[in-house]
Amino acid sequence: MSRRAGRRLFWVTCLALALAGFLLSILTGPVKTTPGDLLRFIRDPGRVEAAIFIDLRLSRAVLAFLVGAALALAGAILQGYFRNPMADPFVVGVSSGASLGAVLAASLGFEAAAFGFSGPGLLAFVSGLGIVSLVYVLSLRRGGFKVETVLLTGIAAGALASALTSFFLFMRSDSYDQAVFWLLGSFQLAEWGQVASVGPWFVACLAAALWLARDMDLLALGDEAAQALGCPVSRVRKAFLAMSALLAALSVAVSGIIGFVGLVVPHWVRILIGPAHRPLFAASALAGGTFLLYCDLIARNLLAAELPIGVITAAVGAPFFLYLLHKKR
């Protein structure tokens, strides 16, 4: 099969899976509904059905898709940024930093809203970006830019942030549900307002990433080579870092920490369609959204009680991560 045909197959399959995922999401849930109910609803909308189909299930599916797409795109960006396949929002500390910010805001009762974010969402973004910048600056101090140093610094900073997050959650005795939400993620409380606050930012980041994708390809040759080829390296790097932090922090702000999507999905996509960054970014977003949509379906339908979605993504993602690790050796 030619590369072009392979790519076309990938896009068609992914789109079909995504559409099927949305339909399944609308049709399944703790309240039993059949395709007949949905058709009847479309012809003659009732109040209760509207709430269940549109307000609860569809908003949740759309949010899960958006967050999955944002995380996978952030992962794809960071893997290119660090020229390292093990990078993801988790490893460089954005996720942990963002969740620390959100939990801190919630415990301090910081509720001021701005730019369409809630207080915790706003602080999540600031602290997510803060921790990445910190990691970046710390790693730059020793003269050269070494990928290993950045990753290890990120892991350490992320661990520190998670420890502080757990501490603040523990200090509030009534926060079991909050702890589960911020440490393992959930779309249980998804609503259209969240979709509206994540959507535009995601679209803007995706567009910017696609526009700058050529420069990312050049960065793969090394910073000096890229500079020689006319790429404004430091500006491009800053833009990508800010985008990945924004995407990851936004995701954490609406759905808590969801691991492995950002790590695993870009790998699948790279194997299937190749390493050129423009198609990689777009395809990662689509595949990540679809992946998380199905993970959320499992999370809310596997058992009578809802599972945190982080449990599902890790259960699927971790074995794949191990496989990759050993295949590389």
* Contact footprint for other proteins (CB under 8 A): 29-31, 47-48, 51-52, 55-57, 173-174, 176-178, 181, 188-189, 191, 193, 305-306
> Smallest distance from the beta carbon of 293 to other proteins, in angstroms?
17
Residue 85, number of CB atoms within 10 A of its CB: 16
Residue 37 or 223 with smaller CB distance to other proteins: 37
Cβ pair 266, 76 in contact under 8 A: yes
Residue 44 or 174 with smaller CB distance to other proteins: 174
Residue 148 or 191 with smaller CB distance to other proteins: 191
Residue 52 or 209 with smaller CB distance to other proteins: 52
Helix, strand, coil fractions of the chain, as percent rounded to 5: 75, 0, 20
Q: For residues 151 and 158, what is the distance between their CA atoms, to the nearest angstrom?
A: 10
281: Cβ–Cβ under 8 A, 6 or more apart, which residues? 73, 76, 77, 206, 209, 210, 213
> Smallest distance from the beta carbon of 280 to other proteins, in angstroms?
36
> Smallest distance from the beta carbon of 247 to other proteins, in angstroms?
23
Q: For residues 281 and 77, what is the distance between their CA atoms, to the nearest angstrom?
A: 8
> Smallest distance from the beta carbon of 307 to other proteins, in angstroms?
11
Tokens 């020793």 found at: 142
Residue 167 or 176 with smaller CB distance to other proteins: 176
Residue 88 structure tokens: 């993801």
Residue 114 or 305 with smaller CB distance to other proteins: 305
> Smallest distance from the beta carbon of 282 to other proteins, in angstroms?
33
> E strands within 154-264?
none
> Smallest distance from the beta carbon of 31 to other proteins, in angstroms?
4
Which run of H or E residues covers position 153?
A: helix 147-171
Residue 108 structure tokens: 């301090």
> Smallest distance from the beta carbon of 200 to other proteins, in angstroms?
20
Cβ pair 281, 275 in contact under 8 A: no
Residue 31 or 204 with smaller CB distance to other proteins: 31
C-alpha separations of 99 from 29, 159, 184 in Å: 28, 12, 10
Residue 45 structure tokens: 């909308």
